[in-house]
Structure 1
Amino acid sequence: MKLFLILLIGLILEVFVWIGVGDLVGSMWYVFFWFAAAFFIGMSMIRKYSAGLMPQMQQMQAGQMSADPALTGNLPKIIAGFLLLIPGLITDVLAVLIMIPPVQNALKATMMNVMMKRQQAMMEKMMGGMMGDMNGMGGGAQGQNPFADMMRQMQDMQNQQSGRDSSVIDGEAREVMPDAKKIEMKDVSPK
């Protein structure tokens, strides 16, 4: 309901700004041509910066890939392109503001924090069910996480891709010679 109210208020504000700018420049045709030009600019920005976006986003969500600088650099530009597609002067001003490098950096940092929090919450939810029986909380099928088997399979696949066997623990062993003297226990009798 809040989103609908925000969109309605935004639409009303856009209409008032259109009318005001149309009166200021003398004709609504200038505003219309600006909307058409902004639409094509936004479309070209989206086409240019979104090539290969979805596979990278899916890999990042699955945790198989870290944040790619090219991907995080392109997301604010894609958002600006979407804002230019929407007919309105307020959204066009927001799109131009997003194209400013310090604003892009702040937006990238915010998006990465949100994505990392979502990924962490998803992992905690999936891993929480795997430990359900160990905590004494779950008994049988009620305490089990339905994603536990899928999570184990994903971990096995990641281990196979990296060339590691999950049943082998790597480490080094060395023999330690006791150099310290042993402490002798004397009979201590209570008095």
Structure 2
Amino acid sequence: MKLFLIVLAGLILEVFVWIGVGDLVGSMWYVFFWFIAAFFIGLNIVRKHASGLMPQMQQMQAGQMSADPTLSGNLPKIIAGFLLMVPGLISDLLAVLILIPPVQNALKAAMMNVMMKRQQAMMEKMMGGMMGDMNGMGGAQGQNPFADMMRQMQDMQNQQGGSRDSSIIDGEAREVSPEAKKIEMKDIHPK
């Protein structure tokens, strides 16, 4: 209900700004043409920066991939593109503000914090569901045996901090016994 009232108040404010700017410039046609131009500019920005966005977002949400710098760099631009596509002068002003690099950096930091909190909550929920049967297995009641592991994972994410070194490959090592190939000495002397 709050969101509905906020959207309704925003729409009413947008209409008053449209009328005020239309009176200021002398014609509502200029405002209308600006909306059309801003729509195509926003569409161009979204097309340019949204390629490959959904698979990366799904992987990040599933916790399979940490923050990709290209994704976190493109997301504010995509949001600005969508705001330009929405007809309204206030939304266009917000889009232009988002395109300023310091504002982009602040928005990226806020989005990364939100995503890390969601990932942490998802981990706690998963580990909490596993705790139901663990109390009778020697674990102290009310303590999470995975708390240390979750803390270490969060520390590792904080150390990475959104800039990931592309030369590091995560993996698992195991010992492999090589198959010894022997050279047979059949005819070493030519006849």
- Paired with 1:41 and 1:98, the residues of 2 have a C-alpha distance of 14
Aligned match of 1:128: 128
- Paired with 2:14 and 2:27, the residues of 1 have a C-alpha distance of 17
Aligned match of 2:37: 37
Unaligned runs of 5+ in 2: 137-169, 175-191
Q: Deviation per CA, 1:26-72, whole angstroms, max 9, x where unpaired?
A: 00000000000000000011100000000111111111111111000
User: Matched residue pairs, number?
Assistant: 142
Deviation at 1:163, TM superposition (A): 4.2
State the one-letter code of the partner of 2:120.
Q
Larger Rg: 1
TM-score by length of 1: 0.71
- Paired with 1:62 and 1:17, the residues of 2 have a C-alpha distance of 42
Give the share of equivalent positions with the same residue, in percent: 84
- Paired with 2:69 and 2:126, the residues of 1 have a C-alpha distance of 28
- 3-state SS of 2:51 partner: coil
- Paired with 2:66 and 2:119, the residues of 1 have a C-alpha distance of 12
State the one-letter code of the partner of 2:98.
I
- 3-state SS of 1:132 partner: helix
- Larger displacement relative to structure 2 (26-35 or 57-66): 57-66
4+ residue segments displaced more than 4 Å? none
Deviation at 1:131, TM superposition (A): 2.0
Unaligned runs of 5+ in 1: 137-160, 166-191
Q: Deviation per CA, 1:60-112, whole angstroms, max 9, x where unpaired?
A: 11111111110000000000001001100000000000000000000000000
TM-score by length of 2: 0.71
- Paired with 1:123 and 1:53, the residues of 2 have a C-alpha distance of 23
Aligned match of 1:99: 99
- Paired with 1:62 and 1:12, the residues of 2 have a C-alpha distance of 39
> Is the counterpart of residue 55 in structure 1 residue 58 in structure 2?
no
RMSD over aligned CA atoms reads: 1.6
Aligned match of 1:114: 114
State the one-letter code of the partner of 1:53.
L
